Amino acid sequence: MNKGLTSTMAEQSMGAAVLCPYLVPDIYDISEEYALKANGISLPLTTYTKDYDYASFSVTAGKVTYELTLLDETEINSYTISPLKLNISATITGNMMRFTVDRDEYLIIRINDRAKRLVLAADPVESDVPEETGEGVFHIALEPFNVVPVAAESEVAARTAAIQRALDDASQYGTERGNGAQGIVYVPAGTYFISNLVIKSNTAVYMEPGSVFISTSKRSDLQEHWFKDSVGKPVTWWISTAYESTNIKLFGRGTIDGNGEALSDDGMINNLLVPIVTSKFEVDGITVRNASAWAITTIRSKEMNFVNLKMFNSLNMGENDGIDVCESQNVVVRNAIGIGLDDPFSTKAWKETTDIASGKVGWPGKPEPVADVLFEDCIAWTICYGFKIGQGVMQNQENITFRDCVVYDAAVGFGIHHKYGTAEAKQITFENMEIENITYMNDDNSAWMTMFIVNGNELGIGPISNIRVKNIKVYDNGKGRGSAKIQGVQGATITDVIFQNIYMPGSHKAAENLTEMNFLIQEFNSQVTILKEQN
């Protein structure tokens, strides 16, 4: 029996949003630190790491009034609700705080400087829920698949084979009908321990709220795809696409759980979702959590959309990036939250000989550039970079935009780290960004922004050019004597950089020079311009 509430919508008073809570599966524990209500409805909170608990649910248009209670009855003396730009204020009554939000938002809340925060992930309500049965729908719990959810790891091979059959049947259905049709694999609420899955063309996978695909913890059950030199462990592409596939969608309000710590303890780590050499690929509303390597890794793919995406990883497990756009084009990541020790949002490009591309199962085709990528309305919380170009720039990276994004906390708010390769990073835009906290240090970097070039592993150097940084609000300069940097090297410079409307901590006036922006490290750069403040 699943914990928590059903996903039946609960009607609220006039002007308020209609709330749709999600089930919390049996494998997850309920928070013992916080209790939550939204528009008078109790919402279950999933306890996750020592750093945060979270709640996921959907709301229609309208206001949402939250009541958050400390279960140990400690009086609330202080709080922050991020993003700060929303200007959300609360009323406090003893151990309870109450506040109202105008719409669905992803929020991070800290009370009384407690180590454990609370993440509220309010999604827009689902508008495309398929029927459970009917032509073109392949319900995994029904004949001929008969997949039964379990709360313990068992019969992984048989369950995986049955779900793979449903995926294959759905692909065949969509392909035979043509004209962009998709067969739909319907995944009902419940927990499904599985090994590797491959999604083929013309397939949609719908995951009900409360449904969880969770990775087996046994290395022997999984395929090794490559070996990560920096960690010294083999890596599996846990759920991937077929090569040369197209027209794939993964949607709903379910969870993809990498079971990262348990698998790592058995000697393997995992990329959770790997769209590889695919096109017209979409993810909408899914929660991705507990990765032990880069969670979502796009590889040599194009026309991709990731929306209403929650990436909940640990702040204590390295190499667990959120989404890495690798050698892909025409990619949009919108309305997303990424939490993890490593970079939640980044782009990278490699060579055939790089470990990730040349492993036991190498990347098909030839290296490609990263081009035409948009990250919009995203929130990052990490010990590394919130938003990042690099480190791999072995192929060109160009026309990449980070817009309307918030860094809740990081070592570096955003930046370009051209560490590996001789290609160019160019036409990069950071606009309408807010940097709330810089409390960590990463490779001696602690700053709201960095742009620098190094010759990592003697793999050569390449330039950075045509960078636009506009409408930035910085709340925190960095840890200790942290400094922003614009640091090229002899033979590879940083050129054509324009800053406009950069507001540093405590200032209501835009910075007029690099020193005011705390760029204390400046080497091998030219054509750096600070435009006049504009409203």
DSSP secondary structure of 191-225:
EEEE--EEE-SSEEEEE-TTEEEEE-S-GGGS---
Q: For residue 532, what pLDDT is reported?
A: 87
Is 370 part of a structural domain of the chain? Answer: no
35 assigned to some structural domain: yes
Tally of domains within the chain: 1
Write out the residue range of the structural domain in which residue 101 sits: 3-124
Q: Residue 5: what pLDDT?
A: 40
Spatial CB neighbours of 212, under 8 Å, sequence gap ≥ 6: 25, 27, 190, 191, 192, 254, 255, 256, 257
- Which tens digit of pLDDT belongs to each residue from 99-147? 999 999 999 999 999 999 999 999 999 989 999 999 999 999 999 999 9
> From CA 31, how far away is CA 47, in angstroms rounded?
5
Going by their DSSP bridges, the two strands 190-194 and 226-228 should be labelled as: unpaired
DSSP 137-191: EEETTSTTT-----SS---HHHHHHHHHHHHHHHHHHHHHH-TT--EEEEE-SEE
**444 within some domain:** no
Pairwise CA distance, residues 493 & 227, whole Å: 33
CB 397 within 8 A of CB 347: yes
Instruction: Report if residue 280 sits inside a domain.
Output: no
- Any domain includes 315: no
99 domain residue, yes or no: yes
**Rounded CA gap, 432 and 429, in Å?**
10
pLDDT tens string 148-177: 999 899 999 999 999 999 999 999 999 999
In a domain, 17, yes or no: yes
What is the CATH classification number for the domain harbouring 24?
2.60.350.10
505 within a domain of the structure (yes/no): no
Amino acid in position 244? E
- Counting every residue written for the chain, the total comes to 535
pLDDT recorded at residue 1: 33
Return d(Cα 286, Cα 254) in angstroms, integer.
Answer: 5
Tokens of 484: 């922003």
Low-confidence ranges of the chain (pLDDT < 50): 1-13
CB proximity list for 499: less than 8 A, separation 6 or greater: 469, 470, 511, 517, 528, 529, 530, 531
* Count of helix runs (H) and strand runs (E) in the chain: 2, 43
420/87 Cα distance (integer angstroms): 40
Contact 213, 256 (CB under 8 A): yes
